[in-house]
Amino acid sequence: MMKIVVLLVVSAAIAADGAWFHHRRYRRGAEHEFRFCIAEELLNKCNEMASESTKSSAKIVCISARDREDCAIKIKQREADFGVVDPEDMYVGKNVKDQDFKIFEEIVTLEEPEAEFRYEGVAVIHKDLKLEDGIKSLKGLKSCHTGVGRNVGYKIPLTKLKNMGVLGSLSQPELSPRENELKAYSDFFESSCIVGKWSPDPNIDRKLKEKYPNLCKLCEEPEKCDYPDKYSGYDGALRCLAYNGGQIAWTKVIYVRKFFGLPVGITPATSSSENANNYAYLCMDGSRVPVTGPPCRWAARPWQGYMTNTAVIKTIDELRKKLSNLYTVGSKKKASWLEILQLNEKTQPRESKLFGLAEYLDKANYTDVIEREYGPPYKALRFCTTSKEELDKCQAFGRVAFSRDIRPRFDCVLEENVKKCLETVRDNGADIITVDGGFVDQGKKHYNLKPILSEMYGSMGDSYYAVAVVRKNSLYKSFGDLRGAKSCHTAIGRTAGYNAPLHTLLKLNLIKKDQCPYPSALSEFFSGGSCLPGSKDPLEKIPAKDAEKLCSLCGGNVDANDGTSLDSKCNTDISESYFGYSGAFRCLADGKGDVAFVKHVTATENTDGKNPSTWAANLKSTDFELLCPEGGRAVLNDYEKCNLARVPAHMVVTSNSKTEGEVDEIRNALLQASKLFGESPYIFKMFGTFNGKHDLLFKDYATGLVSINKSSETQKTYSDLLSTINFCDGNQ
CA pair distance 593, 486, nearest whole angstrom: 5
Task: Read off the pLDDT of residues 459-500 as tens digits, 9 standing for 90 and up.
Answer: 999 999 999 999 999 999 999 999 999 999 999 999 999 999
How many domains does the chain contain in total? Answer: 4
Please check whether residue 584 is in contact with residue 497, taking contact to mean a CB–CB distance below 8 angstroms: yes
28 is in an annotated binding site: no
CA pair distance 297, 252, nearest whole angstrom: 9
**Domain annotation covers residue 731:** no
The pLDDT score that the predictor gives to residue 224 is 96
Q: Verify that 587 and 696 share a domain, yes or no.
A: no
86 is in an annotated binding site: yes
**Domain annotation covers residue 18:** no
Give the end of a domain, one of 286, 301, 316.
301
58 is in an annotated binding site: no
**Domain annotation covers residue 10:** no
Taking phi over 0 as left and psi of -120 to 50 as alpha, with beta for the rest, 304 belongs to beta
The pLDDT score that the predictor gives to residue 54 is 94
Task: Read off the pLDDT of residues 574-587 as tens digits, 9 standing for 90 and up.
Answer: 889 999 999 999 99
Q: Verify that 450 and 530 share a domain, yes or no.
A: no
Q: Verify that 340 and 401 share a domain, yes or no.
A: no
Q: Verify that 521 and 620 share a domain, yes or no.
A: yes
Q: How many CB atoms lie within 10 A of CB 509?
A: 9
689 is in an annotated binding site: no
CA pair distance 246, 242, nearest whole angstrom: 7
CATH number of the domain enclosing 654: 3.40.190.10
CA pair distance 685, 677, nearest whole angstrom: 6
The pLDDT score that the predictor gives to residue 27 is 39
150 is in an annotated binding site: yes
Q: Verify that 450 and 508 share a domain, yes or no.
A: no
Compute the chain's Rg from CA coordinates: 30
**Domain annotation covers residue 23:** no
187 is in an annotated binding site: no
Q: Verify that 589 and 548 share a domain, yes or no.
A: yes
The pLDDT score that the predictor gives to residue 588 is 98
153 is in an annotated binding site: yes
The pLDDT score that the predictor gives to residue 730 is 54
The pLDDT score that the predictor gives to residue 28 is 37
The pLDDT score that the predictor gives to residue 5 is 36
**Domain annotation covers residue 498:** yes
Give the end of a domain, one of 268, 301, 334.
301
Taking phi over 0 as left and psi of -120 to 50 as alpha, with beta for the rest, 263 belongs to beta
Q: Verify that 707 and 581 share a domain, yes or no.
A: no
What sign does the CA torsion over 701, 702, 708, 710 have? negative
Q: Can you give the residue range of the structural domain that contains 589?
A: 463-644
Q: Verify that 475 and 617 share a domain, yes or no.
A: yes
Q: Verify that 213 and 267 share a domain, yes or no.
A: yes
Residues of the chain below pLDDT 70: 1-31, 563, 729-732
255 is in an annotated binding site: no
Q: Does pTM surpass 0.85?
A: yes
**Domain annotation covers residue 374:** no
623 is in an annotated binding site: no
Q: Verify that 312 and 178 share a domain, yes or no.
A: no
The pLDDT score that the predictor gives to residue 296 is 97
436 is in an annotated binding site: yes
Give the end of a domain, one of 277, 301, 325.
301
119 is in an annotated binding site: yes
Q: What is the per-residue burial (b if ≥16 Cβ within 10 Å, else e) of 225-262?
A: bbeebebbbbbbbbbbbbebebbbbbbbbbbbbbbbeb
The pLDDT score that the predictor gives to residue 348 is 97
Q: Verify that 54 and 75 share a domain, yes or no.
A: yes
